[in-house]
Structures are given as C-alpha cells and as structure tokens.
C-alpha cells in the first residue's frame, strides 16, 4: 500500500505553475507556487527539462 502524502509523509499538496525557460542553450522549467505568499518563502523549483517527466506516463 502506498503511503498517504499528507498523513504518512507530512507533505501538503500545492498548486504550481510551470514556466519553460530556454536560457544559454539550457531548456529549463520553473515550478512556481500559485500562492504568492509561498513564493516569498522561497517555495519554488528550477530544474533542467530532461530531469522532469510526467508521472502519469510512468505508471
């Protein structure tokens, strides 16, 4: 049985906006919280595009 994200792991799901950035020949993705207060708390992710996948495709 898979663990529950909130009760077992202590995570709180968040809505994220994804922005594609092509900078210096590096295709990157920015994951930004839709809640602006979370953005001010440094709650964002920068990742190279090849490090990102759609989990639905890997089930």
pLDDT (tens digit per residue) in 41-58: 777 788 888 888 877 776
pTM beyond 0.95, yes or no: no
Separation of alpha carbons 52 and 8, rounded Å:
25
Q: Whole-number mean pLDDT of the chain? A: 82
Residue 58 neighbours by CB under 8 Å, 6+ apart: none
Give the pLDDT of residue 7: 92
What is the CB neighbour count within 10 angstroms for residue 16? 16
- The bridge status of strand 16-23 relative to strand 26-33 is antiparallel
Residue ranges of domains in the chain:
1-51
DSSP symbol at 54:
-
């Amino acid at each position: 049985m898979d663990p529950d994200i909130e009760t077992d792991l202590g995570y709180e799901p968040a809505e994220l906006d994804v922005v594609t950035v092509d900078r210096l020949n590096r295709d990157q993705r920015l994951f930004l919280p839709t809640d602006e207060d979370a953005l001010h708390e440094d709650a964002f992710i920068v990742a190279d595009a090849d490090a990102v996948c759609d989990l639905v495709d890997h089930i």
